[in-house]
């Protein structure tokens, strides 16, 4: 049996904050590995400036190269349609029933999004890991978590010094500002080569 961390999102683009967060979650929860799962179509975000799923998948594969404990899955891309986390976890549990799963996401996703089948999702998971950024209100997060029947599944993990966002990176690229140390070098080269986010 393996305890697997799942990190879903648009990864538009993947950045060093994602990688640091995955590493911190792996250490805190003693995970055996972390699997990054890019959305096909995110249900909570408008697809404005959203790169094609295959480009986002390729950037993720570049980002995790060299770390044998990080993997990338195209399960949501293969399924197509809106990417609901509950559907993904259900499919993984059916395919690999011997594994335990913890889902890792930003605390802003917990506070700002209406998750489909959320209590069912909590029931399937070993834990639901909410990552906080500097300046984030932990009280607001805990209050929102307390509303759910599976509130005992929540793990709150502070990720210090990683206030990096994909939105800011896209803005910096569009404005011609440097973003070299915000993303892995291979990802930066891929973005520049393809003139993404211009």
Q: pLDDT by residue (tens digit) across 27-68? A: 999 999 999 999 998 876 665 679 999 999 999 999 999 899
Q: Which two tokens stand for residue 196?
A: 């993404």
* Mean pLDDT, all residues of the chain: 91
Q: Is the pLDDT of residue 146 over 90?
A: no
Q: What is the pLDDT of residue 135?
A: 67
Q: What is the pLDDT of residue 140?
A: 81
Please say whether the beta carbons of 22 and 34 come within 8 A.
yes
Question: What is the distance between the alpha carbons of residues 58 and 3, in angstroms, rounded to a whole number?
Answer: 25
Q: What is the pLDDT of residue 86?
A: 95
Task: Convert 138-164 to b/e letters by CB count within 10 Å (16 or more is b).
Answer: eeebeebbeebebeebbbbbebeebeb
Task: Convert 175-186 to b/e letters by CB count within 10 Å (16 or more is b).
Answer: eeeebeebbbee
């Amino acid at each position: 049996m393996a305890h697997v961390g799942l990190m879903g999102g648009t990864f538009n683009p993947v950045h060093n904050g994602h990688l640091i967060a995955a590493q911190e979650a792996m250490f805190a929860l003693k995970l055996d590995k972390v699997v990054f799962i890019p959305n096909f179509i995110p249900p909570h975000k408008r697809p404005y400036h959203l790169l094609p799923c295959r480009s986002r998948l390729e950037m993720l594969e570049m980002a995790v190269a060299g770390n044998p404990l990080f993997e990338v899955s195209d399960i949501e891309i293969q399924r197509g349609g809106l990417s609901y986390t509950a559907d993904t976890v259900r499919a993984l549990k059916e395919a690999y029933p011997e594994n335990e799963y913890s889902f890792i996401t930003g605390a802003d996703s917990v506070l700002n999004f209406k998750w489909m089948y959320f209590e069912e999702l909590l029931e399937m998971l070993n834990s639901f890991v909410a990552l906080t950024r500097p300046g984030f209100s932990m009280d607001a997060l805990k209050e929102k978590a307390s509303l759910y029947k599976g509130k005992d599944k929540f793990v709150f993990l502070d990720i210090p010094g990683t206030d990096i966002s994909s939105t800011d990176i896209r803005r910096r690229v569009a404005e011609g500002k440097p973003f070299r140390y915000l993303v892995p070098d291979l990802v930066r080269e891929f973005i520049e080569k393809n003139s993404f986010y211009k």
